[in-house]
Structure 1
Amino acid sequence: MAATSNAFSSTNLGSQGRDDDLGDFFNKLDLHEEEFDDVVVEEEAPELLEEIRWVALARVQTMQNFSQSAFYKDMRAAWNCSQVVRFRPIGPNLFVVQVYCLGDWDRIMGQGPWLFRNMAVLLVPYDGFTNAEEVPIDYMPIWLQIHKLPDGYCRHDLIVKLLRSAGEVLETRLNGNSRGDYVRVRVKHDIRKPLTKFVSIVKGETHKVYAVRYEKLARFCSACGIIGHGHKE
């Protein structure tokens, strides 16, 4: 006899199919206020705070399939954390990541950009309560270099203006490179926007253009300049 199917039964549908099925189910319910028996959760409860401490969402910025186990292995090696790192997949390229000490947290969240097989890995803090699919993951820190910029223009305030299309400036290093012909700047890049290829300055009647190069750059499209796919994709 065939198994009975209803709104509560488990199927072989993908996650999108399950979400649609549940959405239809709740839409058909005629719910009344007196039917709710809500559980009140105190976010300040010590046991909850301990469980959701040092938790982040990680997304691999790609449209290609990849091995989750290889991702875990490569990121653990790249981060080189002093304590265990736990991963939990919640989507095709979306993961919950948890570490267990402040030093490891500062490293994975502050020392990027991180790459997995030349694909960008984006990280954002996660509160453990919000629906993960609703958390925007649109930015990545990245180092860039402005080459041949004259000393008179090597000022933080001017560099911020020059890179206004590249993203929020997080840090500038005007000195200290071995060649001495570029300045290094760390920016918060919006991966929905194309990479900045150059900056330009007009002084008097002189118009100068200076090349921008990126360090540890993930796969990007040479046609549109967006990180996350190649031009053939």
Structure 2
Amino acid sequence: MRIAWDLAKEVKTRPLEDNLYTMQFGCLGDWERVMEEGPWTFKGKAVVIAQYDGFTKPSIIELNKIDIWMQIHDLPDGFFPKIKALSATVGEFIFAEPKSHDFEGNFARVRLRIDVTKPLKNAVSLVIKKKDAVQRVIFRVKYERLPDWCAVCGYLGHLFKECGDGVHPPKSLVFKDLKATWFKGLGNGPGEGRSSYEGNGS
């Protein structure tokens, strides 16, 4: 992970028990990079990191959430004010990247905090009224830098060939197209230049 994180200073890592460690960073910039620029993976598996105060029992720290970029594809500009509500059905909304004319790609980007113990979603939807009818509009979603996931059940942590007996007909791979193949980087994030639809979820 030191190579992936490209740290400026040494990080002190202490093993606590199987698959549980504490890390002490040598500078604030390294700590912010690791905490804010994920998700991180090791051999395809998600690396789950949480801030630690040094006084809580390490064994009770909840390590079940990661921050990730989600793309909502083919979302009309007129629905952009609904992006927080759309995203809340997938995870905890952190912020949305503002729409701009120099953006390339038919999707909106949202930063989310998702629960790794729950299955991913492959779509979000809106219910809209058209004249006298009510219609549900569905939008496909994809995730940037997605760790290993199962195309059958949607859970992180294993591949579809490791799910059940590993033999699945193509029609059962309903979560197969969740990984974004194109993304432009980390995005603007909170702060200067934020749109009115950004901000912490509540």
TM-score tier, shorter chain, comes to: 0.7 to 0.9
Letter in structure 1 aligned against 2:94? L
Uncovered stretches (5+) of structure 1, i.e. residues with no partner: 1-74
Q: Which residue matches 1:126?
A: 52
Structure 2: which amino acid aligns with 1:183? A
1:172 aligned to which of 92, 96, 99:
96
Report deviation, 1:125.
Answer: 1.0
3-state DSSP of counterpart to 2:49:
strand
CA distance, structure 2, for counterparts of residue 180 and residue 114 of structure 1? 24
**Corresponding residue for 1:6?**
none
| Match among 214, 217, 224 for residue 153 of structure 2 | 224
Deviations 1:166-203 (A, max 9, x none): 11111101425743310000100011111121011221
Who is 2:86 aligned against?
162
- Write the distance in 2 (CA, Å) between the matches of 1:159 and 1:81: 34
Amino acid at match of 2:147: A
2:30 pairs with 1:104: yes
**TM-score, length of structure 2 as denominator length:** 0.73
Greater helix fraction, Structure 1 or Structure 2: 1
How many aligned positions are there? Answer: 157
User: Which of residues 186, 191, 196 in structure 1 aligns to 2:111?
Assistant: 186
Of structures 1 and 2, the one with the larger relative CO (CA 8 A, separation 6+) is 2
Indicate the residue corresponding to 1:9 in structure 2. none
- 1:66-215 equivalences in 2 (<5 Å): 75-155=1-81, 158-176=82-100, 178-204=103-129, 205-215=134-144
- Superposed, 1:45-84 pairs within 5 Å as 75-84=1-10
Local SS of the residue matching 1:207: strand
Aligned equivalents of 2:3, 2:127: Cα separation in 1 = 46
RMSD: 1.5
Contact 1:154-1:174 at 8 Å conserved across structures: no
Greater Rg, structure 1 or structure 2? 1
How far is the alpha carbon of 1:222 from its aligned partner? 1.9
Deviating runs (4+, > 4 A) in structure 1? none
1:143 Cα shift?
0.4
Calculate the TM-score normalised by the size of structure 1. Answer: 0.64
Sequence identity percentage: 39
Q: Give unpaired runs (5+ residues) of structure 2.
A: 164-202
- SS of the residue corresponding to residue 163 of structure 1 reads helix
For residues 20-49 of structure 1, the C-alpha deviation after alignment (integer angstroms, 9 at most, x for no partner) is: xxxxxxxxxxxxxxxxxxxxxxxxxxxxxx
Alpha-carbon distance in structure 1 between the residues aligned to 2:154 and 2:105: 27
